Amino acid sequence: MAEVIEQRPGLSVPARRVPLRPPVAPDEAAARRSLREQVAKLESELGALFCTAFPRTGFDWKVPSRGGPRVLSLVELEELRDELADRLEHNRRVLGDRTYVEELNRCRIEEMMLEPERHRWMVIRNEDIGEPGCKSWHVRPRFGLLGMLLNWWRVRISSGCPLAGGRGRRP
């Protein structure tokens, strides 16, 4: 009973104050070092993705600059890391979608070669399968109008890009 009386409000010893700030300052240098390493890793992965995606176009590789060269604050480093990660993820997704469509186009080329009459006038270019150059597969009628009437179709494969200087003079 005596102990209960002592713990009543107003009778007990005042509680100790807990300091709001931690006694040790946070090590910002370690956090900055870690962020710089993450930036380096992300840059490495972006570089690899860039080389994988080449020669496809339509990707955005830019991450806005921060008025450098200067020492970035911790917040700026975090923002940079996040933007690099977002850019990497976005471009990976775009490349994934693009390669899926390219694979479908490759399958379609095989089908065109096997049954050209079922893919009349269809054209698939090198860029549609993620390859450099100007080659194309074009389903056209054999012998022109006659082929159209008789349902004679074939795949015509172009010979590539035109020469920069033309064919040159005739021998």
Give the whole-angstrom CA distance, residue 80 versus residue 36.
10
Kindly tell me which of 39 and 123 has the beta carbon lying closer to other proteins: 39
Give the whole-angstrom CA distance, residue 31 versus residue 71.
14
Kindly tell me which of 72 and 129 has the beta carbon lying closer to other proteins: 72
Give the footprint of other proteins on residues 12-71 (CB under 8 A).
29, 32, 36, 39-40, 43-44, 47-48, 50-51, 54, 61-71
Which helix (H) or strand (E) segment holds residue 69: the answer is: none
Give the whole-angstrom CA distance, residue 51 versus residue 44.
11
Give the footprint of other proteins on residues 76-105 (CB under 8 A).
76-77, 80, 84
Smallest separation, CB 51 to other proteins (Å) = 5
Residues with Cβ within 8 Å of residue 25, at least 6 apart in sequence: none
Binding site for other proteins (CB under 8 A): 29, 32, 36, 39-40, 43-44, 47-48, 50-51, 54, 61-72, 76-77, 80, 84
